[in-house]
Structure 1
């Protein structure tokens, strides 16, 4: 039995979360973040915010609301809850690959920044989840994390 399987944080049956489960969790998280950030951005920038055309930087609050707040929220959720709200709804956790415990703060930051590595080559790092033995994306491999389903 591996350290991960014997960890008290993991339920009786260890099951790596697959691509579709993780996709749905990400969709839920995106909708929640949009419900917070879009109204704030509209309140501050109003008419400057357009749906059509290319995305451009609107100003300093745009960076805070649409870049820093989501990054901080996601990293803190991973660190303190081992899951974002979407993962909680679908009963998944992000855990350290070796210990099965919540990822450390630096590990969570690395995992978030590694998302950009997974995105750049046509999202290949995310699609990798579908074929990997442990269902790890490139960001998981870089940060040393796995995402598990919680089954009782």
Structure 2
């Protein structure tokens, strides 16, 4: 991690990052699934267990997410919002094994009505169950680069009519 002041990323910014990631994932996989299945009708008894489903819905998301966490410390949605997933103890980027553990722990967070994700709003370090299991935190710069307002003529004060 770079040497700067960080804060834990809360529920709503993480939810926004997830929405961005989901949209990007659908942009990539929907056309491929449509091509593989010959349209957007996925009816049939064998559609769940075929090679395309395995690759595009299970293997690709796992490998892409783990690769982003290991090499960039963030998925594209988290990068867009200046968030990073790091080791809770050291602040270092995640190892492959910790990334895989965190990915599979998502299922534990999702299974009971997504309570593990909602836990982010209640936890003091903004950790979901998947973060607690994998010993990770999601952080962002405390100073998000928003420039303070500076008027050219600092001696002049605006009147209420302005």
TM-score of the superposed pair, with normalisation by structure 2: 0.82
1:39 to 13, 19, 31: 31
Is residue 10–residue 150 contact of structure 1 (8 Å, CA) maintained in 2?
no
Name the larger-Rg structure: 2
Gaps of 5+ in 2: 144-162
* Counterpart position of 2:11: 19
Moved over 4 A (4+): none
Q: Does 1:141 align with 2:132?
A: yes
Q: What do you get for the CA RMSD once the two structures are aligned?
A: 1.6
* Counterpart position of 1:84: 75
SS at match of 1:95: strand
Gaps of 5+ in 1: 1-8
* Counterpart position of 2:160: none
Taking the aligned partners of 1:109 and 1:70, their CA distance within structure 2 comes to: 11
* Counterpart position of 2:64: 73
1:63 to 50, 54, 57: 54
How many pairs align? 140
